[in-house]
Amino acid sequence: MTEVSETRLAQPNRKAKRRFKKEYLWGYSFVAAPILGFLLFAFIPIGYSVFVSFTKYDAFNPPEVIGAENYARLLFEDPLFWKSLVNTFYAAVGIPIGMAVALAIAIALNQKIVGIKYFRTVFFLPTICSVVALTLLWKWIFNADYGLLNYLLSLINVEGPAWLNDYRWAMPSMIIQGVWAGLGFHMILYLAALQGVSSTLYEAAEIDGAGSWKKFRYITIPGISPTTLFILITAIIGALQDFVRFMIMTEGGPEYSTMTVVYYLFLNAFRYMDMGYASAMAWMLGILIMIITLINFWLSRRWVHYE
């Protein structure tokens, strides 16, 4: 009696097992391409780059191991690296400004506005446009003598600075351009987040007599905090690696006032062919990015609320 029932039970089990084993093969073959790509274009290169960072390597002659010399040079002998690091953080000032403006636009758009599609498209436009074209455009806007910005300022009797040619104004110019170009992307994310905040919370707060500021402070801000964290992290990672704009608009000048870490790294790697040194720099920056991201996550436990 018991034996019969056991074999009966075992039968479909074995079948299921066989089917499961077949599923293994399908599964592995389906994920093979991205995993192989990961090994070839991420895992192996990353490992190799650790090695290169301890060598002197010009990409033509074989790499020559020099120990931690590159790192020592970065930390103690290269003021330009430190300057570029400071500049990179200076450029990141644009992040909170951009986030605040993007949130303001999203809130305005969230009030059943007529023409929401028009506004959404207009703010989003720069996001889909080529960085090269937009950078060329802004270089012309910032032109000291004939540019749009100084013309507009002249209309209100302000004499504009030389923007990109003035070491004090070059970085603020880049920040303005960056905020303009990045607004739309963050606006869309915030708009989606705002629409996800449950309206019953607002209704309940209204019954309790909460004004708009209180509703904003105690319902909206916590409600969209996961999106704020997401934007913050991706924006910081992006800003620390930003350089195409700088390369085209200022080439790091004037007086290295817009030299960013990645542009400096790029120059070292592909202009001066100092791959070892550039790799060490990449690792310093990479580790810095990871540390900042971890700190972000850690701090976020205090202010991010998940439902």
Question: What part of residues 105-124 is at the interface with another protein (CB under 8 A)?
Answer: 105, 107-109, 111, 113, 118-124
Which residue from 27, 64, 203, 303 is in contact with another protein, where contact means CB under 8 A?
27
Which residue from 54, 81, 185, 264 is in contact with another protein, where contact means CB under 8 A?
185
Output the CA–CA distances (angstroms, integers) from residue 243 to 23, 48, 101, in the order listed: 45, 24, 23
Q: Counting contacts by CB under 8 A, is residue 37 touching another protein?
A: yes
Question: What's 62's DSSP letter?
Answer: P
Smallest separation, CB 115 to another protein (Å)? 8
Of 8-16, 166-174, 213-221, 285-293, the segment contacting another protein by CB under 8 A is: 285-293
Residues between 151 and 180 that touch another protein (CB under 8 A): 151, 180
Cβ neighbours around 53 below 10 Å, total: 22
Which residue from 10, 41, 203, 217 is in contact with another protein, where contact means CB under 8 A?
41
User: Is the four-CA dihedral 32, 36, 42, 43 of positive or negative sign?
Assistant: positive
Q: Which is nearer to another protein, 169 or 283 (CB)?
A: 283
Smallest separation, CB 245 to another protein (Å)? 10
Smallest separation, CB 112 to another protein (Å)? 9
Q: Counting contacts by CB under 8 A, is residue 10 touching another protein?
A: no
- Asked if 296 and 123 touch (Cβ cutoff 8 Å), the reply is no
Residues between 47 and 106 that touch another protein (CB under 8 A): 48-49, 52, 59, 104-105
Which residue from 11, 82, 140, 295 is in contact with another protein, where contact means CB under 8 A?
140
Residues between 189 and 228 that touch another protein (CB under 8 A): 189, 191-193, 196, 212, 226-227
Query: Phi-psi category of 191—alpha, beta or left, where left has phi over 0 and alpha has psi -120 to 50?
Result: alpha
Smallest separation, CB 2 to another protein (Å)? 31
Which residue from 6, 23, 203, 255 is in contact with another protein, where contact means CB under 8 A?
23
Tokens of 245: 């704009």
- Asked if 182 and 128 touch (Cβ cutoff 8 Å), the reply is no
Bridge partners of 64, per DSSP, are 56
Residues between 228 and 267 that touch another protein (CB under 8 A): 229-231, 237, 240-241, 244, 248, 262, 265
Q: Which is nearer to another protein, 170 or 262 (CB)?
A: 262
Cβ neighbours around 92 below 10 Å, total: 18
Cis peptide before 254 (omega within 30 of 0): yes
Q: Counting contacts by CB under 8 A, is residue 297 touching another protein?
A: no
Q: Counting contacts by CB under 8 A, is residue 298 touching another protein?
A: no
HEC sequence for 162-202: CHHHCCCCHHHHHHHHHHHHHHHHHHHHHHHHHHHCCHHHH
- Rounded Cα–Cα distance for residues 284 and 236 (Å): 16
Q: Which is nearer to another protein, 24 or 76 (CB)?
A: 24
Angle in degrees, 0-180, between the axes of helices 170-196 and 116-128, rounded to the nearest 10 = 130
